[in-house]
Chain A
C-alpha cells in the first residue's frame, strides 16, 4: 500500500473520493466480470441446451433443461481426448527441444564464445526482423521435402518440434541471463576441472530457474496458440492439434455440440492457469518487459 499512484491518497481519503472510488470499483468489477466471465458462462450454458432451445429466438439466458449428453457426444464425435493429447505431446516436445538446444546454444554464445559466435548470434537475431507469417510459405515447402536429408516431415511431430527451436527471442533472453552470471563462480568450477556440460548443469542451470520458467511458458504457449502452421503441416486428422481439430470439425456437428466442445477445449488451460496464475502472469510479463 506504500506505493503512491496517480491519484493522491488525500483525494481518496475524502468522502467524495471514497464514494467515487467505490463506484468506479464496483462498476469495473461488474463490467469485467460480465465481459470476461460472461462469454464463458454463455459457452457452458449453451452447450447444455437442446438443439431446439439453442435455435430459439429470443435465446434463453438459463437453459430450460440440462442436456449433458451434448458434452458426451461432442467429446466422442470430435475426439477431444486425442486432440488434447496431441497438443500436449507437441507442446512438451517443443519445450524439451527448446530447453536442450536453445539453452545449449545460449550458453555457448554467452560463455564459451566460439569463433563466429557473434555472427551466428547476429543471424539468429536477424530472424526476429522477418515476419513469421511471411516465412510460412517457404517453410512449408521446406518441410515437404527437407534439403539434404530428403525427408517429408509433414504429419510427424518433428514438424512442430524442430522449427520451435528457432526461437531467437528465447535464445536472446537466455544468453542475456547467462551473461549476468558472475564469471568468478564459473572460473572456480573450471579450476576444479569441471567440464562445460557439468558447469552448465550443476551451476548455471540451477541459477537460471526464473528465466527457464519464462522460456518454458513461451514454448508451451507458442504451440498451444499456433493455428496456421499446424493446420498446414499436420493435415492428418488423427494428428491434429486442438485448435485445428476444432476448426475442421466445427461444420460437422450441431451448434450446441460444438459449443459444448469449445467449453471442454477451453477448460484444461483455464484450470491450469487458475492454479499457476501467479507464475504464469509474472513470467510472461517479465519476459516481454525485458525484451
Chain B
C-alpha cells in the first residue's frame, strides 16, 4: 500500500507540473524580465548612452477616443526618437480616466504597473507602502530637466519623501468655482464676476434654479469619496482644516457646521441643487455640459473633459476662485518610476517626460500645435511654472489661445494659496461622504449629529496608523 501511495503522489506531481507549466507559459511576466540594456551605465549623472537600447512602458497614453492628443503623442514620440533613436516608448492607453483608485491599488499590489506610471500626488504614500517607486533624486537634475529651476518648489516637494524624489509632475491644479456662462446670463447674473462667498453662491444658485426646466443652481457630490473631497475643498476655502496639526479631526466646529448649514439651505430651503443626488465625479460634468447646472467646485481641466468627452463648448464656461478664498485644495498628477527599473530606463524615462511634459514650448506646452489640432489652449492648468518660465509659458499660451481666456480672469487674478489633501485622504473622504449624502438627501438631517459621527469615525481612521 505504501508504494501505491508514493507512486500516486509521484503521478500526481507529474500532472501537477504539467498543469503549472501550462499556467505559467501563458502568464504575463509583468516586468520580471525586462529587456536588459547592453552597454548600460549605472551612473545616474551621466546622460543616456545612445548605444544602449532601452524600452520603457508608460501608461496614460491618450486613448483612441482622444484622437488629436493621440496624434500629438505619436508625433512627440517620433520627434523624441530623432534625438533618442535607441529608446522605444511603449504607450498604454486607458479609455476614460487614466487612474481609477481601486484599479491603481490593485496594480500596485500586483506590481503590474508599467515602468513609468501615472499617479496622483496623493498616491505617493500608497506607492511607497507597496514599495512601488524608485528614488530618482539623482536622475532629475537641471541637466536632465532644464526647466527644473522654474518649477514651483512646493509642487516638487509633494513628490518628495524624506528628501528623496519619487516622480515628476505633469500637471497640477487648484480648485475653483466653475460656472456655466449661458445659465448665468439667462438668470441675469454677471458671468465675468462669479460668486466669491458662499452667500453669493447661494443667491446665484437660487436665481439659476428659478430658470426651471430641471436646471440646478449649484451641484455637489456625495458618494465614492468625491463628496468628502469637496467638503474638504469647501473647508479649505473657508480657512478651516480637516485634520488638525495634532493629527485629529478638525472639522466639527463652526466652520464645518457652516458648510453643512449652507448646503442644507440651498438643497432644501431654496431647492436650488436639483433633486438628483448621490452624485460622483463625472455626474456634475454631464449636467453642466447639457446646461442643466449653473455652478460646481472643480479643477480647470473639468472644462476640457466636458468639451472633449461630453461635446460642450469652451465659451460656455468660466471660472472664479473658490468661495471664501482662504486656501484652496491643490493637487495634481505626475509620473513615477517603477522600483527595479534599470538606470538606463530611468534616464530614458526622464528624458521623455522632460520632452513631453516639462519643456516650455514642447510636448504638452507646444500651444501652436495644440491650437492647430483643435485642442484647447488657455486653461489655467498645469500651473507649476514660476518666474521667467511662467512668463514665457503665459506668453506662448496667450498667443495661441483657443478659448476666451478672459473667462478665467477672475480665477487667475485672485490666486488662492494651494493646500494639499489631508493624510489618509481617501479614508477620510469616505467618512465625509456620509455628511454630504446626509445633508443632501435628508431634509431633517441633524448637522451636529452628522459632523459628530464623522469626527468620531475620522479619528478612528487616523488613530489606526
A and B touch in the complex (CB under 8 A): yes
What residue of chain A has the Cβ atom nearest to residue B22's Cβ? A158
Interface size on A, residues (CB 8 A): 41
- Residue of A52, A78, A235 near B103 (CB, 8 A) is A235
Q: Which has the most chain A C-beta neighbours within 10 Å: B30, B96, B107, B309?
A: B96
Please report the C-alpha to C-alpha distance between residue A79 and residue B111 in the assembled complex, in whole angstroms: 26
Would A155 and B96 be within 8 Å (CB), given that A57-B214, A235-B103, A253-B309 are in contact?
Answer: no
B138 within 8 A of A: no
A149 within 8 A of B: yes
Would A251 and B282 be within 8 Å (CB), given that A55-B292, A57-B213 are in contact?
Answer: yes
- Residue of A151, A236, A251 near B27 (CB, 8 A) is A151
Contact status A252-B103, CB under 8 Å:
no
Please report the C-alpha to C-alpha distance between residue A255 and residue B26 in the assembled complex, in whole angstroms: 38
Please report the C-alpha to C-alpha distance between residue A76 and residue B289 in the assembled complex, in whole angstroms: 21
Contact status A255-B112, CB under 8 Å:
no
Please report the C-alpha to C-alpha distance between residue A256 and residue B265 in the assembled complex, in whole angstroms: 32
Output the least CB separation between B161 and chain A (Å).
24
What residue of chain B has the Cβ atom nearest to residue A237's Cβ? B94
On chain A, the residues within 8 Å of B64 by CB distance are 76, 79
A66 within 8 A of B: no
Contact status B283-A55, CB under 8 Å:
no
B46 within 8 A of A: no
* Interface size bracket, B side: 35 or more
Please report the C-alpha to C-alpha distance between residue A54 and residue B291 in the assembled complex, in whole angstroms: 12
Please report the C-alpha to C-alpha distance between residue A78 and residue B63 in the assembled complex, in whole angstroms: 10
Output the least CB separation between B285 and chain A (Å).
8
Contact status A78-B95, CB under 8 Å:
yes
A-B residue pair count with CB separations less than 8 angstroms: 101
Contact status B110-A154, CB under 8 Å:
yes
B74 within 8 A of A: no
Output the least CB separation between B259 and chain A (Å).
25
Q: Which has the most chain A C-beta neighbours within 10 Å: B97, B100, B106?
A: B106
- Residue of B5, B8, B96, B112 near A235 (CB, 8 A) is B112
On chain B, the residues within 8 Å of A114 by CB distance are 8
A156 within 8 A of B: yes
A148 within 8 A of B: yes
On chain A, the residues within 8 Å of B30 by CB distance are 152, 154-155
Would A254 and B106 be within 8 Å (CB), given that A115-B8, A153-B27, A155-B30 are in contact?
Answer: no
What residue of chain B has the Cβ atom nearest to residue A57's Cβ? B214
On chain A, the residues within 8 Å of B103 by CB distance are 235, 248
Please report the C-alpha to C-alpha distance between residue A21 and residue B112 in the assembled complex, in whole angstroms: 63
Please report the C-alpha to C-alpha distance between residue A3 and residue B80 in the assembled complex, in whole angstroms: 79
Would A151 and B65 be within 8 Å (CB), given that A252-B96, A253-B309 are in contact?
Answer: no
Contact status A255-B23, CB under 8 Å:
no
Please report the C-alpha to C-alpha distance between residue A146 and residue B29 in the assembled complex, in whole angstroms: 12
Encode B11-31 as 1/0 by CB contact (under 8 A) with A: 000000000100110111010
On chain A, the residues within 8 Å of B97 by CB distance are 251-252
Would A79 and B214 be within 8 Å (CB), given that A154-B112, A155-B112, A235-B106 are in contact?
Answer: no
Please report the C-alpha to C-alpha distance between residue A52 and residue B23 in the assembled complex, in whole angstroms: 51
Please report the C-alpha to C-alpha distance between residue A56 and residue B213 in the assembled complex, in whole angstroms: 8
Q: Which of B198-221 contact A (CB under 8 A)?
A: 213-214
A81 within 8 A of B: no
Encode B105-135 as 1/0 by CB contact (under 8 A) with A: 0110111100000000000000000000000
On chain B, the residues within 8 Å of A249 by CB distance are 95-96
Output the least CB separation between A83 and chain B (Å).
10
On chain A, the residues within 8 Å of B100 by CB distance are 248
B286 within 8 A of A: yes
B244 within 8 A of A: no
Contact status B95-A152, CB under 8 Å:
no
Encode B437-449 as 1/0 by CB contact (under 8 A) with A: 0000000000000
Would A156 and B27 be within 8 Å (CB), given that A55-B292, A251-B283 are in contact?
Answer: yes
A144 within 8 A of B: yes
Contact status A155-B281, CB under 8 Å:
no
What residue of chain B has the Cβ atom nearest to residue A52's Cβ? B290
Contact status B28-A155, CB under 8 Å:
yes
What residue of chain B has the Cβ atom nearest to residue A141's Cβ? B109
Contact status B310-A254, CB under 8 Å:
yes
Would A248 and B26 be within 8 Å (CB), given that A52-B290, A154-B106 are in contact?
Answer: no
Output the least CB separation between A225 and chain B (Å).
20
Please report the C-alpha to C-alpha distance between residue A254 and residue B5 in the assembled complex, in whole angstroms: 64
Contact status B107-A152, CB under 8 Å:
no
B280 within 8 A of A: yes
Please report the C-alpha to C-alpha distance between residue A157 and residue B25 in the assembled complex, in whole angstroms: 12
What residue of chain B has the Cβ atom nearest to residue A145's Cβ? B110
Please report the C-alpha to C-alpha distance between residue A152 and residue B8 in the assembled complex, in whole angstroms: 29
Contact status B289-A235, CB under 8 Å:
no
Contact status A157-B26, CB under 8 Å:
yes
Contact status B112-A152, CB under 8 Å:
yes
Q: Which of A241-278 contact B (CB under 8 A)?
A: 248-255
Output the least CB separation between A271 and chain B (Å).
26
Q: Which of A130-145 contact B (CB under 8 A)?
A: 140-141, 144
8 example contacts (A-B, Cβ-Cβ < 8 A) are as follows A77-B65, A79-B64, A115-B8, A154-B106, A232-B106, A235-B107, A235-B110, A254-B311
Known: A231-B102, A248-B103. 14 other contacts (CB 8 A): A51-B289, A55-B292, A79-B64, A140-B106, A149-B23, A152-B111, A156-B26, A156-B27, A232-B102, A232-B106, A237-B95, A250-B282, A251-B281, A255-B290
